[in-house]
Structure 1
Amino acid sequence: MSVVSDAQIEQIREFNRFYTHLLGLLNEGLFKSQYNLMEARIIYELGEVEHLVASQLGQMLSVDAGYLSRVLNKLVKAGIISRMPNSQDKRQSLLSLSAVGEVARVDLRQRSIEQTAQLYNDIDPSQSNKLVTAMAKIQTIIAPQNTAPKTYILREPEVGDLAYIAHRQSVLYELEYGFGNAYEAVISQVVADYIDDYDAKLEKCWIAECDDKIVGSIFCVNGGDGVAKLRLLYVDPMARGMGLGGRLIDEVVKFARKKHYQKIEFWTVDCLDAALHLYQKIGFEHVSSQPYGDFGSHLNDGAGINRQDWQMIL
């Protein structure tokens, strides 16, 4: 039996109709181009992965083989797609974009960007952040296995990165937990102190990036007396489920050991369940708890949240 009520189903169907109409997905030409939705998707996928066979393309698009064959034949005749012999399976040709097809792909991408900008440029920036986060949540809830970026890199922070981290984490934790401006003040101060007092020999910040977007970060700060402070672990919703949080914490532990710190300390709050699980799994010990109302007094039906202190002896 479905856990979704009839009223919720109708609301979902109404949103689907609204968004389909908004994007013009049923128009004869997608983005006012000469290609319909299926043709545009095929051009996009062949631009992402060169030399696919029809069966692979059908699986990626979840489309009937007969219908796909007709669309492919049309695009081949139009000179958009090239067919090449497949040495591994002579029954299926290798498909790729021709030079004309590559031009079409670039044009479709630009049209998509322009349409998206036109649709959302008039939205207030604070609302657009909420919108994008909500879209990421929809992806994560409906198909979590498909939403995490495949690869990421860790790098040093560049100018503007730390301000972005403070902004993004403030917005995210307001949306997910309702922490408000008090939390923004806390992390902004952490970032400002790091910039003002940065010691390159004993401190470090890691930025996680995927597809030119910041998707995570963490800091290791000198707390004095042989203590390293772990600060501001952040993993964007679109990067969750790929092991990034654990990797960032591991980097802090390795760095602290390399710099001969005696222990790592940090504090957090008890509603961040996923992060708490990671800390415990990696070997941190929960030391103490106490009520903390600075940005969570309204949570848990007014009961608030608790501050937790953790440490790892190195």
Structure 2
Amino acid sequence: MTINGTEDPIAAVRAFNRFYTRKLGVLDQHLGKTPFSLSEARVLYELAHRDDLAAKEIGNELGLDPGYLSRIVQSFDEKGLITRTPLPADRRQYQLSLTAKGRQTFAKLNLSSQNEVAAMLAQLSADDAARLTQAMATIEATLEQRPGRPAAVMLRSHRVGDMGWVISRQGAAYAADYGWDISYEALVAEICAQFIRNYDPAREHCWIAEVGGEPVGSVFLVKATDEIAKLRLLQVEKKARGLGVGRALVEQCIHGARERGYRRMTLWTQSILVAARGIYKSTGFELVKEEKHHSFGADLIGETWERDL
């Protein structure tokens, strides 16, 4: 709809919502072949990706009516999909966990959903698929401001030219800040080249942080195994430090890993990267391994950090 030659933004958003709702219905048709409604599938998803949730928490986050949620929980309990444990602080509230049968049930639903999306993307060219996922990331980043992300910071998907920027800025930043030699830039180039060659949008992603339309940071989510995601190449430009960019990138990476069905996340960093280590610790990662090594022209202590999703 246009008004005086200009598109009415309200009408545009409503039109997109109608289109996307129809498309979402197509993608979720597989639910009609199972005993689960879309709301029930959403509850299963939350329980599969977050441990020991209270029923009230799920209801609040999904916007479900308490009575309707209670019926869903009762149905799951009768089918042996969940366990219910009264909360010590309030015996009227229950902590929910999936049973082994519940996890198997979710795995089948999740695989079906992934196959539906893969079939849709398979109809698109590689360029169109990239444009689609980039547009989705832009919509999400614009509408959903997560804690720690200032309004001035925008996270978007990678596009043509970004890998060159990542390689250049990573090499220059670590040389300036820590005296690392060009072998580190070579490593970053290898990681970026592998990411481009093997890119699977259903399992991997790169986010670029922008302030005022200018790139100021990046992070990569890559597949380690079917169950484990790996966070790589977190970097924030000096001029953007203190704006919450690094934390926003890490939180987005964690969120992206959950959305893609991973169960655990890992990363490798160095003990001298104090700011990054602080972000990892505050977002739930734990140090699990340390090892001295000589790389990039420097004596370093490599660290492996991990967290459950």
Length-normalised TM-score, structure 2: 0.51
Distance 1:6 1:136 in 2: 23
How big is the shift at 1:120? 1.2
How big is the shift at 1:58? 1.1
Instruction: Look up the match of 1:68.
Output: 69
1:87-126 aligned at under 5 Å gives the runs: 87-126=88-127
Distance 1:99 1:33 in 2: 19
* Structure 2 gap ranges (5+): 1-5, 150-156, 173-178, 196-202, 210-214, 222-233, 237-242, 250-268, 277-296, 299-309
Distance 1:188 1:237 in 2: 10
Letter in 2 for 1:235: S
Percent identical:
26
* Structure 1 gap ranges (5+): 149-166, 173-183, 195-199, 218-231, 260-314
Letter in 1 for 2:218: V
Per-residue CA distance 1:97-129 (angstroms, 9 max, x = gap): 122211111011101110001111121111111
Instruction: Look up the match of 1:289.
Output: none
> Secondary structure of 1:90's match?
strand
How big is the shift at 1:170? 2.5
8 Å CA contact 1:82–1:98 kept in 2: the answer is: yes
Distance 2:116 2:22 in 1: 13
Distance 2:148 2:32 in 1: 24
8 Å CA contact 2:80–2:101 kept in 1: the answer is: yes
Distance 2:127 2:12 in 1: 25
Instruction: Look up the match of 1:83.
Output: 84
> Secondary structure of 2:8's match?
helix
Structure 2 CA distance for partners of 1:188 and 1:8, relative to 1, 3 Å? closer
Per-residue CA distance 1:36-75 (angstroms, 9 max, x = gap): 1100000000011122111111122122212211222222
Distance 2:16 2:75 in 1: 32
Aligned match for 1:170, one of 143, 148, 160: 160
> Secondary structure of 2:84's match?
strand
Q: Give the structure with the larger strand fraction.
A: 2
Instruction: Look up the match of 1:51.
Output: 52
Instruction: Look up the match of 2:199.
Output: none
Distance 2:248 2:147 in 1: 20
Structure 2 CA distance for partners of 1:66 and 1:138, relative to 1, 3 Å? same
Structure 2 CA distance for partners of 1:169 and 1:117, relative to 1, 3 Å? closer
Letter in 1 for 2:116: Q
Kindly indicate whether residue 214 of structure 2 is the aligned counterpart of residue 235 of structure 1. Answer: no
Distance 2:45 2:103 in 1: 9
Per-residue CA distance 1:244-282 (angstroms, 9 max, x = gap): 29999x96x99xxx97xxxxxxxxxxxxxxxxxxxxxxx
How big is the shift at 1:7? 3.0
How big is the shift at 1:15? 1.8
Instruction: Look up the match of 2:181.
Output: 202
Distance 1:34 1:92 in 2: 26
How big is the shift at 1:8? 2.4
Kindly indicate whether residue 246 of structure 2 is the aligned counterpart of residue 244 of structure 1. Answer: yes
How big is the shift at 1:34? 2.4
Distance 2:67 2:129 in 1: 40
Instruction: Look up the match of 2:260.
Output: none
Structure 2 CA distance for partners of 1:146 and 1:41, relative to 1, 3 Å? farther
Flag the structure with larger Rg: 1
8 Å CA contact 2:148–2:247 kept in 1: the answer is: no
Instruction: Look up the match of 1:142.
Output: 143
Letter in 2 for 1:202: D
Letter in 1 for 2:43: I
Distance 1:237 1:213 in 2: 6
8 Å CA contact 2:166–2:218 kept in 1: the answer is: no
How big is the shift at 1:87? 2.9
8 Å CA contact 2:85–2:95 kept in 1: the answer is: yes
Letter in 2 for 1:92: Q
Distance 1:147 1:16 in 2: 28
Letter in 1 for 2:181: L
8 Å CA contact 1:79–1:101 kept in 2: the answer is: yes
8 Å CA contact 1:233–1:245 kept in 2: the answer is: no
8 Å CA contact 1:58–1:65 kept in 2: the answer is: yes
> Secondary structure of 1:91's match?
strand
Provide the alpha-carbon RMSD of the alignment: 4.7
Structure 2 CA distance for partners of 1:133 and 1:28, relative to 1, 3 Å? closer
Greater relative contact order (Cα 8 A, min sep 6): structure 1 or 2? 2
